[in-house]
Chain A
């Protein structure tokens, strides 16, 4: 019974496909998987957008949207209808072909990233041996679409925004990769399925998720920072800086193309959260062994939504980092820490199975963090200040 609930989508797909002749069955399975992904994630996008607006509202002591349906549940439908019915303005001197292709490229690329994520037991669309590599290769193409958008709009603001965005995304690719390389090292494989399998074991009922190891915890935090920067989310959303450059690289987009950019950004966020969950949080495995009766795909989606909530929480709290500070942060803080993380992960692997490796690895990472923070920031002379008063 539990098995059936866990594999329900797989069984459903097999049943549907059994109506077709044997030659077409494989192709049909893949197509069904694609349709499922393309149907699910925009629905999740709608839910996330609503969650974000209401969540931000509650943090700011106000209601979010609550007029369009009970508790505002139909707000995404209203937003979708609005963006569909708006006039599609293309600036006169803009490069129309590139202008049109930029959002299309973004959406296609972010959806392709889902092909390798294991969303449940036996629920990977394409089970590749180098799944992680594929994901990163595809993820890098989002930068191309951002630049296409900025360039084709023939607008100084958009250009500035696009240049900033590309610089930011390129700088944060490296820490993201390096923090996942630690996981690959320990698992010994680039295949995402194998990574999840390696974490799917339990000791005393507690899982072997990589986040519960010192290097995994550090790696997760660094991965999260890099992911926030990759998807241009606060506090790294200067390219979309609302208060400076109106909307950055998508200033000149209106109507449905704007909605597509939005969709691309959020679906990309969910993809990267899915990757983070797979690498560090055990993918579709349950947190405690006793909870294994809950289907695995529920765990995967729960982890994605948790990551979304964390993104929203951070957005509601933190101000933006300025461009050069962002870059400084990436190259002078995050990158050295990821390299150190690799070394520590190696030490972990070869230090045997006792308590010593916990202590040594944690100590090294903490010390490094404190030193980097003190040394790195001291040059800039930031710090709380004391004020004097005159009577």
Chain B
């Protein structure tokens, strides 16, 4: 069987990042399978060209671009404010953190100050988004393991409550378009803050139930421990960020490193993994979710009264001075960054997004070599990508 479609020359990388060379046993024919783009578990339209020797993966080539919507070029033609709704649609599971990263980048460009109350609101909403994202990610991972969606439904029940909170504050469940350059769009009423408190009170119990259902489940442990190992040096050198990096043992959380917004006022811990496999990634997400509960709690207790928008901020006719800025946050999936170059006009000259999912995907092949086909799906799920971000 010919191996058409695959790069024929030998991989010439040297040293630490030379991939473990997988040679098929003897003269066995390689079975080439294309998983996707029409596939129940590829998180969107995504294709993986996998070459199998029996059940082992010999080569894996990810193919994406099926969801490319020209976001960066559109951004060059749109005013700064007009791009904000489009950032909602990048990582469509976490629209608020996308908004935040963009607002942060523009605020760095113009040097605007954000009032206290707006910062607290941003932190509350950002951490709620983190909870939503991690619960869904774990739920989908378990679904791919074959548990017919039961934990997924429990996670989505909680997600519905949080989405109702978002709707009450911003007007929309997902495409929120909430952050503005210099603050937030709508102020939160005391009734809303009380509703957040009520939802937050129910969340630790959900996390406990989730943990009970999953950790200690022998089948889950057997499926995910020792699978998809990502060595820390490879993770650092490939630019992997987010829970994947922390599951490989590297202590790098942008909330602690940069201390952007008011994160240095909150006490929270960063869980780290020691075995670098799928089980670690899923547990790290669970533990980070619990830390987020603590942050939301502290923010709710400390939120001050005051304005939510920089009084000097202009909605229309917004022309930042020429310059460039890179604003990044710890999005639930990794480091989400926006790089803006302004030439003094109402539209940016260059509008570039650093998508965490795409950068995390570059190590997919290294993680999957030598494992079974069933594991490929699991490893891919543990990277936790959203195609809107990968393809923009």
Contacts and interface: CB of A to CB of B under 8 A. Distances in A.
A203 interface: no
A387 B273 contact: yes
B231 interface: no
Contacts of A323: 55, 372, 374
A384 B146 CA distance: 21
Interface in A146-171: 156-157, 160
Nearest to B152: A60
B228 to A, nearest CB: 13
B274 interface: yes
B149 A382 contact: no
User: How large, as a class, is the contact surface on chain A?
Assistant: 35 or more
A320 B271 contact: no
Contacts of A60: 149-150, 152-154
Most buried by B among A241, A243, A319: A319
A381 interface: yes
Contact of A318 (B31, B219, B271): B219
Interface in B167-224: 215-223
Contacts of A324: 55, 372
B268 to A, nearest CB: 9
A387 B287 contact: yes
B374 A234 contact: no
Interface string B260-286: 000000000111111100011001100
A268 B275 CA distance: 42
Given A242-B40, A323-B55, A389 B270 contact: yes
Contacts of B254: none
A222 B269 CA distance: 45
A317 B225 contact: no
A162 to B, nearest CB: 14
A389 B269 contact: yes
A382 B221 contact: yes
Given A237-B146, A320-B223, A244 B373 contact: yes
Contacts of A320: 145-147, 219, 223, 374
Interface string B125-148: 000000000000000001111111
A319 B374 contact: no
B88 interface: no
A315 interface: yes
A61 B147 CA distance: 15
Given A319-B145, A319-B146, A385-B275, A61 B283 contact: no
A387 B39 CA distance: 34
A61 B209 CA distance: 14
A45 B147 CA distance: 23
Contacts of A62: 153
B150 A325 contact: no
A243 B269 contact: no
B272 A244 contact: no
A321 interface: yes
Contacts of A319: 142, 145-147, 217, 219-220, 223
B321 interface: no
Interface string A39-63: 0000000000000000010011110
A112 to B, nearest CB: 31
A315 B147 CA distance: 7
A312 B302 CA distance: 48
Contact of A322 (B221, B223, B251, B283): B223
Contacts of A246: 39-40
A124 to B, nearest CB: 36
Contacts of B219: 235, 318-321
B43 to A, nearest CB: 11
B14 to A, nearest CB: 31
Contacts of B279: 385
Contact of B150 (A59, A160, A377, A384): A59
Contacts of A237: 146
B2 to A, nearest CB: 15
B298 interface: no
A385 B274 contact: yes
B148 A238 contact: no
A322 B374 contact: yes
Interface in A224-255: 234-235, 237-238, 241-246
B153 A61 contact: yes
A93 interface: no
B40 A243 contact: yes
A224 B375 CA distance: 27
Most buried by A among B143, B146, B251, B271: B146
B41 interface: yes
A87 interface: no
A385 B277 CA distance: 12
B293 to A, nearest CB: 15
Contacts of B154: 60-61
B373 to A, nearest CB: 6
A59 B213 CA distance: 13
Contact of A243 (B220, B223, B284, B377): B377
A321 B375 CA distance: 11
Contacts of B375: 322
A96 B221 CA distance: 42
A234 B287 contact: no
Contact of A235 (B146, B271, B275): B146
A391 interface: yes
B372 A388 contact: no
Contacts of B272: 387-390
A244 B148 contact: no
Given A320-B145, A389-B269, A238 B374 contact: yes
A383 interface: yes
B148 A389 contact: no
Nearest to B147: A319
Contacts of B33: 156-157
A56 B143 CA distance: 14
A246 B280 CA distance: 27
A3 interface: no
A324 B372 CA distance: 9
Nearest to A247: B40
Given A382-B222, A385-B283, A387-B272, A244 B31 contact: no
A56 B218 CA distance: 21
Interface string A307-319: 0000000011111
A389 B271 CA distance: 4
A377 B221 CA distance: 11
Interface of A: 56, 59-62, 156-157, 160, 234-235, 237-238, 241-246, 315-325, 377, 380-385, 387-391
The 6 closest A-B pairs by CB, nearest first: A320-B146, A319-B145, A389-B269, A60-B153, A243-B41, A319-B147
7 contacts: A60-B152, A61-B154, A241-B146, A319-B219, A383-B221, A389-B269, A390-B270
Given A321-B222, A387-B274, A390-B269, 7 more contacts: A59-B150, A320-B223, A323-B374, A325-B223, A377-B218, A387-B272, A391-B269
